[in-house]
Chain A
Amino acid sequence: MKTRVLGKSLPRFDAPGKVTGTLVYAADFSLPGMLVGKVFRSTEAHARLAHLDTTRANGLPGVRGIITAADVPDVRYGGAVKDETVLARDRVRYVGQPIAAVAATTLEAAEAALAAIVATYEPLTPVFDVETATAPDAPLLHPDWRTYTAMPILHREGNVCNRARIVAGDVERGFAEADRIFEHRFRTAMVHQGYTEPRAAVAQWDSAGTVTVWSNTQLPFEIQNTLAEILAIAPSKIRVVVPGIGGGFGGKLRVGVEHVAALLAKRAGRPVKVLTTAEEELTAAYPRQATIVELKTGVTRDGRITAKHGRIWFDTGAFAGSGPGVASVATLVLAGPYRIPNLDLEGHAVYTNKTNCGSFRAPSGPQSNFAVESQMDIIADALGLDPLDFRLKNIVREGDEGPTGQVLNAVGLEECLVKAADAIGWNDRRPGRWRGKGLACGRWTTTGGSSGVYVKINTDGTIALNTGAAEIGTAALTGAAQVLAEELSVDLEDINVVSADTFSTPFDFGAQGSRTAFAVGNACRAAAVDLTRQLYALAAPHLGVEPEACALRDKHVVADGKSLSLAELARLSQATGGGLIAHGTFIAPPTPYDTKRVESHAYPAFHSPSFHAHAAEVSVDPETGEITVENYVVAQDVGFAMNPTYIEGQIEGGVAQGLGQALSEEIVYDGGRVRNPNLTDYKMPTTLDVPRVQTILVQHPSLVGPYGAKGVGEPPNIEPPATVANAIAAATGVRITSLPITAEKVALALRDVTARSAES
């Protein structure tokens, strides 16, 4: 395809503001007279809040307002289950839970006020892990769980806030057909998104009772609606504006600081800013759930998978958060990207007395894939098969069914696997002592939802693109702008983007689920079709032709050897009509699936699925267990590469983040308290930890995405843990089944092996 703009590695439109420090992020945003808001948090994991005294704090200098549960509307809110309150009323459920909030003139004054608030607790029995929480007589975190409003499809019971299930075929028959049955258990740790900009919001009320919130949220419209519930006012009274965002990765989907800022601003009668600290981020944000996974897989001697029984438990923390949905998505991942006729897959989201977990880039993906793809290698080894061959024998191909019966198309998985394996040099899997290679593969969804854009052609020939989506860093809006520029035959520099303001931009389902470039790109296409029609109708009489004879070429409408520029046409239109304006919309079509295969399922099919394979070469120091990732390859089926450079950027960044989860990151809880709530002890990868990543773009065009594009952002985060786990096993002969795979775990496992071989 010959293109003007699309498919080219053009620089993103927001880069200049970012390299010069002039782009204003939410954390940078301030207003005259603005106060500092801080949150008073629970020090207990599970307790009755017997008494709360804010009298002394209220009288301190600089304090302009304090709110407790008694001062705010008594509402429960939440995504799938409405189980959360802004401030704890009579019970606290995790260390870090907000109990009160203070607005003061300075940070010091606010902190002094927090120190002067006195809470008295009566301890309740805490529950710190999913095994205890799901035991028959476990203490309930939410004794009133039955009274909560929840998505009707959920299956809830006590501490379990959803159990989703996929059943296909007959697993017992499948196991009977198997020659070997493998059972394994895996664990993964709680990890944080690690965005570099803390969550931030500034709220200001006007005299008409409208509140404006400047926030670094990924989902302005979701925040608008949640705030409407929390503040008990109409959504039209709430304006959410998103300035620059310093990363989100799913951690900035849900209301986190916006409600506190809005409530304090109302109380104090002045604008209030709330900005989280690193400690608050690591103790009271929306991290990725820790999980336990159990897999039972039946295979024939020649390596055909006949049945899989999989169960995953998500430690979702004190409130449901994203847990019920994530537990659903997990069941699709537990199937693996394989043809398995008999499946029984369950995902459980379980309450414990820890921080409320949320969504993190490909929610449930890395945990489930780590288990599935680790077990694939274990099975291949046990059967004496090459792990690549074993996968190729079982992977899904064009026209196959997904686990819930959806028909798969544009399946680029084989190409991904073969190319990744070739690039890593798969024929030499153990290239030296303590050196080994591993691979893993998977599939992921391109989340649906709707997107709208307004597009206007300006009288200087530039284009205004107005979208409700926020640019969170992925360059997705640059991709969408490239689509628009291509369709209107202009350059990327001609497009000016206005985004994410709930008062003025059209609705968008938000920057989540690898959907932004895909969905906004399609909305741009729709708007361009409309604008083109308007342009031709306007130009035709002036060019002395019928509209059908017109074409768009290089910023002009041309026909019959004559032409009119977009600028001239915009001027003409403004003089005679309302200007050249179009509204483009897109909603992803539903993906048909077999409803009989799912129970209590919030996400039964992967839309426009992407396919991917990762391969790594690692070396291990046998003394210290220290792991070095020497080489890393990703082959990802992106459908169509709108802007190859930024797709590579997504892949390189996703791998780095995935390697953190694989090797070093863990929010360590001990008796309900986080032991490492700082960036010294919560170890994210630095320049010294991340290898160069070789990216191979595979392009099997999807039926729905613009020019065949598929979602790109989340997938690269899924496979790294399994990939390095498999490479480590190849290098050392020991299999680590829990994340993160620290040097310590590897060294201990190696010592065990040595000790055992010495005994025998």
Chain B
Amino acid sequence: MSRIALALTINGQRHDVLTEAHRTLLDVLRADLGLTGTKENCLEGECGVCTVLLDGMAVDSCLLLAAQCQGREIVTIEGVSSRGGDDVLARAFIDCGAVQCGYCIPGMIISATAFLDEHPSPSEAEVREALAGNLCRCTGYQKIVDAVLAAGRTSGTETRGDAR
């Protein structure tokens, strides 16, 4: 199969990958680059465990071809905490007891990161709307929603860092 050379910017670092044109960003992240913090499940854009930031927007990396991501800024869960030392969300997830099996959590945190960037002090309804594409089978969402609300409150008062 013919391969293409891609230059991907992931978590602020440039990665040169040689890969087949049909491969998804998720595939390249997990298999080629060992960034397994981004999870895989349905591979059809239905569960959100594969969510990453693409130019600051939360997207399902299982639906994106790696080739579409050339020249764009990708942030994964591994890179989130390095964004201006911003681990307010991760802390809030732990403090609120929002983590059970944890498999959905990286995707949740990524979705919440993108959302809080746009809506620094959201309502509960807005948080629920923003996370509607991320399935969690363990928590019933309540403590996840609480964590995002808490992180919104904290970052609202602390001024969030922004490394992008």
**A interface, CB within 8 angstroms of B:** 9, 11-12, 14-25, 27-28, 30, 108, 193-198, 244-249, 277-278, 472-475, 645-646, 648-649, 652-657, 678-680, 684, 686-688, 690, 692-693
Contact = CB atoms under 8 A, between A and B. Distances in A.
A16 B102 CA distance: 10
A247 B141 contact: no
Contact of B135 (A24, A652, A686): A686
Contacts of A30: 31
B68 interface: no
B94 A687 contact: no
Contacts of B58: none
B137 A249 contact: yes
A500 B101 CA distance: 15
Contact of A657 (B40, B102, B137): B137
Nearest to A680: B46
A246 B137 CA distance: 9
B42 interface: yes
A648 B134 CA distance: 21
Contact of A247 (B78, B95, B137): B137
Contacts of B42: 278, 678-679
Interface residues of B, number: 53
B72 interface: no
B43, B46, B101, B127, most chain A CB atoms within 10 A: B101
B44 interface: yes
Nearest to A278: B42
B49 to A, nearest CB: 6
The 4 A-B pairs of least Cβ separation, nearest first, read: A21-B37, A246-B103, A473-B101, A18-B102
Contact of A475 (B47, B100, B132): B100
A21 B128 contact: no
10 contacts: A16-B94, A20-B78, A21-B76, A28-B36, A196-B101, A196-B103, A246-B103, A645-B97, A690-B141, A692-B142
Task: Give the interface SS of chain A, mostly helix, strand, loop or mixed.
Answer: loop
A729 B128 CA distance: 28
Interface of B: 1, 30-31, 35-44, 46-47, 49, 76-78, 81, 89-90, 93-95, 97, 99-106, 109, 127-129, 131-145
A679 B135 contact: yes
A433 B134 CA distance: 34
Contacts, number: 171
Given A278-B44, A652-B140, A21 B77 contact: yes
Contacts of A678: 42, 44, 46
B60 to A, nearest CB: 12
Given A23-B102, A472-B101, A649 B139 contact: yes
Given A680-B46, A692-B142, A194 B94 contact: no
A430 B1 CA distance: 66
A679 B39 contact: no
A196 B41 contact: yes
A473 B36 contact: no
Given A21-B38, A653-B139, A684-B137, A474 B49 contact: no
A19 B90 contact: yes
Nearest to B98: A649
